[in-house]
Every structure is written in structure tokens, then in C-alpha cells.
A and B are shown apart, each in its own frame.
Chain A
Amino acid sequence: MIVSMDLELKDVPGQLVRALIPVSESGANIMSVIHHHDQRTPSGAIPVQVVFQLTSGQLDEIIDNLEDNEMRVVSVDKKYRLESVTLILIGHIVHSDMGDTIDQIDSTGFAEVVNVSISMPGIDKPSSASIVISASGKSELIKAVGILKRVAGQKDLLVIEPIQTDSLR
């Protein structure tokens, strides 16, 4: 999972390091830090944007730690965008509770459905959809596709996966 976090820090020495320690100690990989000196808030705080990759640590714990240290967490944006795959679904996609199909992926905590394009040629005719799943890593993506295939099997939907292309690169 990639997390983009907006913080507001007091303009005193050592604040940035204090803000990054809880993130770093959680095992997260810090990818980018932007220190917006020129965009002070009306109260004089300095906005900081931190982007990190979280593999095992708990995001809630990081936020609690920061807030305990009197740093304001303004917003948190989670993105599962490390690995993604496009698949095709064929069958009665909508009437077999499409929301549930998507929820089963989204509720994993490591993957989510980020795009669905659906084509419904007529009532009683099977629909077709292209569906994009993103996950926090390769093995998580394989797990998520496995979940989709299991759910699709229960709902009599055909899943078309891509061929493996890695070894040709």
C-alpha cells in the first residue's frame, strides 16, 4: 500500500525528523518528503507531504504516534498501486451482485478494484466487463485474482486472465 500523508508541523528545529521517526520505525519505506516552507498555514505551521510504502505496519499506529507528538495529520490518502492487472469477466455480472464481487476484493485490505468498464448488450444476454485490480505487491495481486476467480466460479462468471509475459522482457 502506498500512503500519501499531509502533515502540519510547528516551525521549530527538529520537527521534520520527529515526524519521520514514527513512519520509519513502523518499517515503512519513505519514498518522498516535500517540505512546503513557502506555503505556511494562517497559524504559521509548515505543511509537509510524506509518501511512503507500507507493507506490514499499521497505519493507525503511525497516525496515533504522530498525533501523540503534537503533529497535525491533515489528510491520509491510501493507494494500492504497486501491481495491477486487467481481467475480463463474462456472464451475468450485474445481476450476480457486482457490488459484492468488488467488495470481496476491496475488503482484503491489500487490494482493490480500481476500474470497471461494463458492456451490457441486452436483457438476458451475458454482460462483459474489463476490471482492473491493484494490489500492494505481486503475491497480494495473485491472491486477489484467486479471490476473484473463486467468487466468479460461485456466480458462474468466466474470468479471462492475461498470459504471463515476464520472461519475454
Chain B
Amino acid sequence: MRTVRLSIMGFGAVGQGVARAILQKKDYLSTMDIEPIVVGISDRGGACVEAGGVDLEAAIERKQKTGSVAASDLTALDVIKDIDHDIMVDATPTNIEDGEPGYTYMLEAFRHGRHVVTSNKGPLALKYSMLCDEADKNGVKFRFEATVGGAMPILNLAQDALAGNSVMSIEGILNGTCNYILSRMTEEGLSYKHVLGEAQELGIAETDPSYDVEGIDTACKLVILANSIFGMDVTYDDVDITGITKITPESLSLAGAEGMVIKLIGEVRDGNDGIIRVAPKLVPKNHPLAVGGTLNVALLRTDMAGPICVKGKGAGSIETASAILSDIIAICKNRC
């Protein structure tokens, strides 16, 4: 049995999902000779540390009762630098201004010889190549399947399962909130504002929805796809972005009369006619990209395998944790 020591930075929905996944999958992981031990967890309020393994159920309970997991004076950076562990899981929220605090956590983790698994798009959308260089320099792995499409495998699909293929383009719906809003507007003929309010009430949209509805979240995911799958060197500023705030119910009904729906589509294409763009697009109703609800979907065009389409849940606590766990297992198997 190989013991794998982990830290979890950020203990919101995603961080707690990771803790739950580790609890739930203990027996499954032991069949793979992996014994995960979480030696430190931190959130905005502080950190808790236990070299023999933090009691994850107690940590979740403490977070829910007190609002913080903190049980010591240590900070996240103290845990990353001073507590010996193998993999740092960064589940801090995305910040598209400067990528912090995730960016510094990742750099420090690399410098202290820790592999990094993250669900945080900000640092990758802003400073992808610097992070990869730092990981390489320190001989550690850097995996981020959870940053794009939540539970839906896309990075590992392109890089592992489709290895040997050249991916020519990827297009898809990479933001469940926008998909929910447009799907509801289409089905009910309701206005954008009305459906946004409904989505906020259901917890599908944030109080400040701009990150989702203006296409910023989709753009960050495209940057990660462009850099990691297409080997581009682009940042968030290179993406041509149009959101969904101007979409009217009448436009959806006119599209419907032509047998089409409107979806917020992210698109990356390599080569001379290369593009990296987020925009509302007309999608034929019977096309694989025409999925409803909060689903995410991606269509990869490859040279040998042809078109490959994946769809799945793009967000959610345990769904995102599923992608993080797959990265942790990949590092443990040392096959990345």
C-alpha cells in the first residue's frame, strides 16, 4: 500500500467534495494500493493540520458549523511550505484579476516538491506557461482536469485516451449557468433577466453573474484547452469574447423557427485560420452540441478518430471532486 499525503487549499464546495470523495472511495482506492491521507486543510479562516491524517468528517462538520476549518494558527502557505506532503489540491476560487491566492500556492507547492492538482482556472488562464515551467523545473506533476468541464473528461481524453491523434478543433458548451439560462429562455419564452433571477434563486447563478454570463468563465477554459491540448501560448486577453446578456426571447424563437437553438459556444481552432473565441452561436436542434439544462458538452475534431463528443455535468461539488480524484490517481500511478 502506498501512502499519499495530500493538502487541500480552499474548503468550499469543491474542497469539501474532495474530502467526501476520499472518504467514499477509501476501499476503492485501497484496491489500487493507494492510501490517501489529508495532512492539512486550509480556508480563508486558517488551517488544520494533522500529520497522521485530518479527521475529514470532523473537518467538514467544523466548516459547516463555524464557517471555517481552522484549528491552528497556521496559514495555507505554512501548510504548503512546512507540512510534508506529496500532492497539493488547490480548490481555491477562480480570480481572473491576478490568479491569487491559487497562483502563489501553486508556485510554492512546486518549489517544495509537491505535485499540484487544481480546479482553479484563474492562474492557468493568466500564467499557464510560467506554472508549467515551474512544475517541470522541480520535477513534479501539474494536473488540472477539473478546470474544464467539471466531471466531463476532456483534457485527459485528448491527451491520454486519444493519444496519437492531432486535435484540430474543440468547440462546446463549457458553462452550465449560461446553458441553463438559454435553455430556460428557449423553453419558456422568458426574458433573460427573469431567467437569471430564477437561476440565482436556484443557486445555479452567482449573485454577481458577470463571470458566467459575460463569457469570462468559458474564455478561461478555452485558454486552458488552447495551451494544454494545442500547445498554444495564449492568455485570457487573447480570447474574443461575447456573452449572452443581449440574447432576447424573440431571437430564440426566430432561431427555433429555423430548426436551431442559441448556445454560448467556446471554440478553439489551431493552424492558419486559428481562433479562440466565445460567442453565442446557432446550433441545429439535432446537433450533438444542442444539449439542454446545465449540461456541458465538447466536440473534438481529430485527424484519426474523427469527431468525438463528450457531455456531462460541468459543475457541482462531488462532480468536480471526481475530476480531481482522477488526477490524484493518475499521479499515484505515475502515468501522466
Contacts and interface: CB of A to CB of B under 8 A. Distances in A.
A146 B42 CA distance: 51
Interface residues of B, number: 27
A163 B253 contact: no
A133 to B, nearest CB: 13
Given A130-B257, A163-B287, A88 B246 contact: no
Interface in B248-264: 248, 250-251, 253-255, 257-258, 260, 262
Contact of B250 (A119, A163, A168): A119
A90 B246 contact: yes
A133 B328 CA distance: 51
Given A87-B282, A88-B262, A130-B258, A163 B171 contact: yes
Contacts of A128: 248, 250-251, 254
29 contacts: A86-B258, A86-B282, A88-B254, A88-B255, A90-B246, A90-B247, A91-B246, A117-B257, A119-B251, A119-B253, A119-B254, A121-B248, A121-B250, A125-B248, A127-B250, A160-B262, A160-B279, A160-B280, A160-B281, A162-B260, A162-B282, A162-B283, A163-B171, A163-B265, A163-B282, A163-B289, A165-B284, A168-B299, A168-B307
Given A128-B254, A160-B282, A168-B307, A86 B247 contact: no
Given A86-B282, A165-B287, A160 B251 contact: yes
Contacts of B282: 86-88, 160-163
A167 interface: yes
Residue picked from A117, A125, A160, A165, most chain B C-beta under 10 Å: A160
Given A117-B257, A130-B255, A162-B284, 16 more contacts: A88-B251, A88-B254, A90-B246, A117-B254, A125-B248, A130-B257, A130-B258, A158-B242, A158-B280, A160-B262, A162-B260, A163-B282, A165-B284, A168-B288, A168-B299, A168-B307
A117 B253 CA distance: 11
Nearest to B306: A167
B44 interface: no
Nearest to A162: B282
Interface string A95-136: 000000000000000000000010101000111111000000
B111 interface: no
Given A130-B258, A167-B301, A90 B251 contact: yes
Nearest to B289: A163
